[in-house]
Structure 1
Amino acid sequence: MAIIPCLAATGAARFPDRIAIDHAGTAINYRTLHQRVSQVEASLKSQGVNRGSHLAAIDNTSLSLILLQLACIRLGAVFAPLSPRFPEQQLQQLLQQIDARFVWTTEGKPVGKVSALTLPDTGTITAPESSPLSDDQAPVSLILTSGSSGFPKAAMHSLANHLASATGSAQCIPLQAGDRWLASLPMFHIGGLAIVFRCLSAGATLVLPRQRDLLDTLREQPVTHLSLVATQLARMLNADDCRSLMAGLKVLLLGGGPMPASLLSQLDAHPVLAFTSYGLTEMASQVTTGPANDQGLSGQLLPQRQLRLREGIIEVRGATRFLGYYHQGQLQTPFNDDGWFHTKDRGRWTQGQLEILGRADNMFICGGENVQPEEIEAALKQHPEIQDALVFPESNPEFGCLPVAVLQCREALPSASELEHFLAPRLARFKRPRRYLSWPSDLTQYGLKISRQSVAKACGLIKTDRD
């Protein structure tokens, strides 16, 4: 256990005039951030929030959420950001699951029997007299993640988990004063929360988007660091003002699986460092990181993480490993005696980098042979016209299941014969899809991951239990 000052206090002491947050066109330096966090801390304390309290906040990424998270760390309370897309009934169930005694909403409305907190007016700010100290091993956050059943689990992290994640990331991805990372992911996603800790740990600037559309945001707000999935990258590269959008970028962190070869070839024309990574909520975001590629390689192991393969399944532990799953007063610790967490992700080491082979619970049987959908998806993404691909099993009386592919293409869907010819040297016959469907036009993507279940449902295919 270590007792350390909070990030806002450290930033105020080390670089008070650097810009911590670019919010709605207003630059908030580290000194002011420290003062605002102190004000929120005092307000929460007066409303009954104290050490061990669980506070839920319903929003995407906002200045209010950042202030609440930092104030909770000072108070020893646990911060739980939740998606505003959850219906009221499910929100009430989630608040009960995580024992939230307090809730903050943008409308200031209570959720069920949990009354809403208020935040102070920041018009008048009183500077704090001292720098608060925090126990870095105490729990500070709850982030929802989907289990194999699809029912949300609440992963609990300590401050030490988040800080180790940020410092390990910095060993691979350069981030320094003057750099600006766009908060393009919601804070209820571990990737969004990780961006907050990376920026504040490095003395960089966290840019809160003013526009809902990513490209409009980039046109208004210059950034140097950006987290994207393949579909977002495709939109940038195909935009008429692509060169202008890419001009100030230093780093792209690409998620959501192997990058299509067509996008990486377009990216070569721009002087930007592009990385891909393997990470999970239970490890506070990144585990491995390396140069972006279309071979499905996810880079090398970052500092303060450990990874091993047991019967082809990835197991992880280290300073970023979460404390456990929290449920109604109980902390479930799904680790073996040596502290390893079984991810259910299949992988192998290739050329010194981790290659993700897919989810063990996505595998299906075709004519007695094991089929891993992610292997087929990676092969399809090497086609120059394919921007994204998902593969599902479809029941068949002779073979048990046959693979069906759903494709998102730059223009028209290639013919089945063309795709068969393309995949023949890359995949065994039983792995090649028997049908190809177009990507659902009305499907909306949130965060880094595509919901497999949503795509399967939209296409009328077999539903899966896991998103």
Structure 2
Amino acid sequence: MSLITCPLHTAARRFGEALAIDGQGHPMSYIELDGRVSALCHHLQQQGVRAGHHLGYIGKNRLEGILLLYAAMRLGAVFVPLSPRFPEAQQQQLITELRIQWLWHDEASPVECTARPLTLTSGYEPTLWRFDASAPVSMILTSGSSGHPKAAMHHTLNHLAAAEGSQDRTPLAKGDRWLLSLPLFHIGGLAILWRCLGCGATVVLPDSPDPAEALANQALTHLSLVATQLKRILDREQGTELLGSLKVLLLGGGPIPAPLLEALKSLPLKALTSYGMTEMGSQITTGPANAEGLSGFPLAGRQVRIEEGIIQVRGESRFLGYYRDGNLETPFDHEGWFSTKDRGQWVGEQLKVLGRADNMFISGGENVQPEAIEAVLKRCEGVEEAVVVPVPDEEFGLLPVAVVKGDWDEAALNRRVMKKLPRFMRPRRYLPWSPALETGSLKVSRARVMEWVTRLDKKD
């Protein structure tokens, strides 16, 4: 048991009237946020919420989600955010599987389930709280890009360690403003809250789903984007000027197209890329954004090694395990190492992620890594997204097929691939992107692409 004073109460004492939250008509200082969370804790206790209970949250990035997370922390309950984009049947299934006893939903007609509805109060009641920081505080679903998503469980100390290590290469201070552009049901969104809490920065709730609008109107200093989002901003009139207020731009892992990097050179911001995962509380490595696919240097408090080509990690931010049927599965070896199932290599002191070990397939006796082909395609002019999947072939067993989004030329793509990769890795077909592949998720579902290509081949 690790009894500590609530980090939010500590932040209220340290940062006082500094803005903790802004946007959506809810400017709130750290002192005000501390009082609101205290009042909510008493209100939840009156409803019957107890330590160990699982509190579900289905909604967009709103003040209610932040309040519920910090209230769960103080009460020893577990915050379980679910994507509002999940079909209702999947939401019902997850509520049952994850044993969610209480649910807050931002829709007028919430999903029908066994969980009891939560009501949130708007009162104010400053109270000093001490709690067990080693008790579970959150469950975040992994991306579930293939198969059923898993629920990774963390305690408060894990999240605090993740936030502290992030400071190693992503500087953040009192007065800085980080847009909550990633959803709370994604570890990248949740991590923004913990980072700001530790240094008195402001979490900015988006007034618009378009990051460009937030850049224009909400005085941001820190922003997390994927390369596609950055391209859309830079393609706008005065797009470069929109980024002018930023101190730090944290881009999704993997190669960043060279034209985007060139466009950022004239700006006084720090452009970073990182490799992270739900199981490690978000960032594991971080470094300068680059076109070579380097993911940066290991952050403070994280240990990274490569065993037989597979990246393994451990450290204070490492999750407690996967929650399943009321039990906690702990997939660690006797020294605490967690196998990411990502292939990687060291380039100097930086990590380069080569792709998922379970995505690799054999074509004519040769190992094909889809992510290696995708990295080359994404650097081609006009390409916004590319996913490579295997399709059956009588002669070779499996052959790579690329599904490509954007305005591209097949001959140009082929020339680029043939110049950069062995001939056996050349996609045998290039298919145009389909709206059916859009899920609203931060990651493209490789399984969904595979199913779509299979259906397309059967029609032919």
Quickly name the TM-score band, shorter chain normalised.
Answer: over 0.9
Matched, 1:353 2:347: no
SS at match of 1:194: helix
2:52 maps to which residue?
Answer: 52
TM-score (norm 2): 0.94
SS at match of 2:66: helix
2:268 maps to which residue?
Answer: 271
2:66 maps to which residue?
Answer: 66
SS at match of 2:79: strand
- CA distance in 2 between counterparts of 1:432 and 1:90 reads 37
1:221 CA drift (Å): 1.5
Alpha carbons of 1:238 and 1:110: their partners in 2 closer, same or farther (altered >3 Å)?
closer
- CA distance in 2 between counterparts of 1:461 and 1:267 reads 41
2:404 maps to which residue?
Answer: 407
CA contact (8 A) 2:220 2:246 kept: yes
- Counterpart of 1:437 (choices 431, 442, 445) is 431
2:301 maps to which residue?
Answer: 304
The code of the aligned residue for 2:197 comes to L
Matched, 1:338 2:354: no
Matched, 1:210 2:204: no
- CA distance in 2 between counterparts of 1:434 and 1:149 reads 23
1:449 maps to which residue?
Answer: 443
The code of the aligned residue for 2:118 comes to L
State the identity as a percent.
Answer: 53
Alpha carbons of 1:456 and 1:234: their partners in 2 closer, same or farther (altered >3 Å)?
farther
SS at match of 2:419: coil
- CA distance in 2 between counterparts of 1:322 and 1:181 reads 24
CA contact (8 A) 1:456 1:462 kept: no
1:2 maps to which residue?
Answer: 2
- CA distance in 1 between counterparts of 2:454 and 2:211 reads 30
Map 1:6-405 to 2 at 5 A.
6-107=6-107, 109=110, 111-120=112-121, 122=122, 125-128=123-126, 130-146=127-143, 150-405=147-402
The code of the aligned residue for 2:151 comes to A
SS at match of 1:152: coil
- CA distance in 2 between counterparts of 1:421 and 1:139 reads 51
CA contact (8 A) 2:72 2:79 kept: yes
Alpha carbons of 1:269 and 1:147: their partners in 2 closer, same or farther (altered >3 Å)?
same
151-160 vs 90-99, which deviates more?
90-99
CA contact (8 A) 1:56 1:103 kept: yes
- CA distance in 2 between counterparts of 1:293 and 1:366 reads 30
SS at match of 1:37: helix
- CA distance in 1 between counterparts of 2:138 and 2:155 reads 7
Alpha carbons of 1:222 and 1:440: their partners in 2 closer, same or farther (altered >3 Å)?
farther
Alpha carbons of 1:391 and 1:462: their partners in 2 closer, same or farther (altered >3 Å)?
farther
SS at match of 2:328: strand
SS at match of 1:424: helix
2:417 maps to which residue?
Answer: 423
The code of the aligned residue for 1:178 comes to G
CA contact (8 A) 1:23 1:63 kept: no
Structure 1's consecutive aligned runs of 4 or more residues displaced over 6 angstroms after TM superposition are: none
Alpha carbons of 1:462 and 1:259: their partners in 2 closer, same or farther (altered >3 Å)?
farther
- CA distance in 2 between counterparts of 1:448 and 1:286 reads 16
103-112 vs 62-71, which deviates more?
103-112
Alpha carbons of 1:319 and 1:126: their partners in 2 closer, same or farther (altered >3 Å)?
same
CA contact (8 A) 1:260 1:386 kept: no
1:149 CA drift (Å): 5.3
- 1:75-116 Cα distance to aligned partner (Å, 9 max, x none): 011110111112222222111111111111114646312220
Alpha carbons of 1:302 and 1:4: their partners in 2 closer, same or farther (altered >3 Å)?
same
CA contact (8 A) 2:253 2:295 kept: no
CA contact (8 A) 1:164 1:319 kept: yes
1:351 CA drift (Å): 2.1
1-10 vs 95-104, which deviates more?
1-10
CA contact (8 A) 2:393 2:399 kept: yes
1:27 CA drift (Å): 1.6
- CA distance in 2 between counterparts of 1:313 and 1:154 reads 22
SS at match of 2:384: strand
Q: Which has the higher helix share?
A: 2
- 1:61-82 Cα distance to aligned partner (Å, 9 max, x none): 2110100000010001111011
TM-score (norm 1): 0.93
Give aligned pairs, total. Answer: 456
1:250 CA drift (Å): 1.1
The code of the aligned residue for 1:261 comes to A
User: RMSD across aligned C-alpha pairs, in angstroms?
Assistant: 1.9
The code of the aligned residue for 1:140 comes to V
- CA distance in 2 between counterparts of 1:330 and 1:423 reads 46
- CA distance in 2 between counterparts of 1:391 and 1:292 reads 24
CA contact (8 A) 1:367 1:399 kept: yes
- CA distance in 1 between counterparts of 2:444 and 2:264 reads 22
CA contact (8 A) 1:180 1:225 kept: yes
SS at match of 2:27: strand
1:263 CA drift (Å): 1.8
1:461 CA drift (Å): 6.8
* Unmatched 5+ stretches in structure 2: none
1:349 CA drift (Å): 0.5
- CA distance in 2 between counterparts of 1:2 and 1:447 reads 35
- CA distance in 2 between counterparts of 1:446 and 1:182 reads 19
1:445 CA drift (Å): 5.5
The code of the aligned residue for 1:414 comes to D
